[in-house]
């Protein structure tokens, strides 16, 4: 059975020739629910939020399991949550990095979804865009970093597994998903994912899905991202997406 990842790569190779970001992004979202995905490692689901992501107590950093911190660059305060042995921002990054944008170019949307980002940028004398590694290394607040795909997969393993509906259900917020075909979540670990979607000048997936950049780039001209709507999946795609930082 083909994996979602293979399906995405094949689809991109076809659509990229059209040179239309709208078509690429919409194709990616369509593939979230139409392509075959890897099966769960096990049907056994022993998830217990009081064990995996307890609200009380302290984590490995000596911090309360849930709390807030301030980004010293611009003074913005963010919530965080502990899931397994990882500490994640519990809301999307809203740092005004070069090239970032608010959904729909509406500043009020940044207050809801944070900003949307890409680490693919144009380099003079190159025929294609390429990865901005400095952006990857510096976009998150001090003490935090842009998570790798492996770190996202580890998060998935804590809440039910990648390519599963149960993981998506446990990570999605309990409201804000009214436009989604798959509805809201139960926010079992206070991760509180909202459907910020992607950004293109012609269309938007706001309200339907959440898409997050990872620090893992498989192609020199393409973001690698994690997507969450019906399931928690991953694959390559160009565009601007949300960021969740993870504690160093």
Upper half-sphere CA count for residue 61 (Cβ side, 13 Å)? 19
Cα Rg of the chain, angstroms: 17
Per-residue pLDDT, 117: 92
Residue 236 belongs to some domain of the structure: yes
**Is residue 180 a part of any domain in this protein?**
yes
**Which stretches of the chain drop beneath a pLDDT of 50?**
1-42
**Residue 37 domain-assigned?**
no
CB 166 within 8 A of CB 243: no
Residue 209, pLDDT score = 92
Task: Please report where in the chains the tokens 């601007």 appear, as a residue.
Answer: 240
Q: Does 11 reside within a domain?
A: no
The model carries a pTM of: 0.83
Classify residue 108 by burial, with Cβ atoms within 10 Å: 0-12, 13-18, 19+.
Answer: exposed
Q: Give the pLDDT confidence score for residue 137 in this predicted structure.
A: 93
Q: What is the reported pLDDT for 224?
A: 77
Sign of CA dihedral 65, 207, 131, 162: positive
DSSP 143: T
pLDDT of residue 124: 54
How many domains are there within the chain?
Answer: 1
pLDDT at residue 248, rounded to an integer: 97
- For residue 230, being part of any structural domain is answered with yes
Domain extent at residue 115: 46-247
Phi, psi of 145 (to 5 degrees): -150, 160
Three-point CA angle 61, 67, 71, nearest 5°: 85
User: What's the pLDDT score for residue 8?
Assistant: 39
Q: Would you state the pLDDT for residue 6? A: 29
Per-residue pLDDT at 238: 73
Domain membership flag for residue 217: yes
Note whether residue 173 is domain-resident. Answer: yes
Any domain includes 32? no
């Amino acid at each position: 059975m083909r994996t979602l990842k293979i399906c995405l790569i094949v689809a991109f190779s076809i659509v990229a020739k059209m040179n239309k970001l709208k078509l690429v992004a919409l194709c990616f979202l369509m593939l979230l629910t139409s392509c075959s995905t890897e099966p769960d490692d096990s049907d056994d689901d022993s998830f217990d939020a009081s064990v995996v992501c307890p609200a009380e107590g302290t984590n490995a950093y000596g911090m309360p399991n849930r709390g807030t911190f301030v980004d010293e660059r611009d003074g913005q305060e963010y919530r965080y949550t502990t899931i397994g042995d990882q500490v994640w921002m519990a809301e999307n990054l809203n740092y005004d990095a070069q090239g970032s944008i608010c959904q729909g170019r509406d500043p009020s949307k940044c207050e809801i979804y944070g900003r949307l980002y890409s680490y693919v940028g144009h380099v003079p004398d190159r025929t294609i865009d390429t990865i901005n590694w400095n952006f990857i290394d510096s976009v998150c607040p001090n003490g935090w970093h842009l998570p790798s795909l492996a770190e996202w997969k580890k998060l998935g393993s804590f809440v039910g597994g990648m390519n599963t509906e149960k993981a998506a259900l446990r990570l999605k917020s309990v409201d804000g998903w009214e436009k989604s075909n798959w509805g809201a979540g139960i926010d079992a670990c206070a991760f509180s994912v909202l459907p910020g979607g992607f950004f293109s000048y012609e269309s938007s997936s706001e309200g339907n899905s959440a898409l997050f950049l990872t620090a893992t780039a498989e192609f020199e001209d393409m973001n690698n991202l994690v997507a969450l709507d019906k399931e928690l999946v991953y694959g390559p795609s160009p565009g601007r997406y949300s960021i969740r930082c993870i504690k160093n």
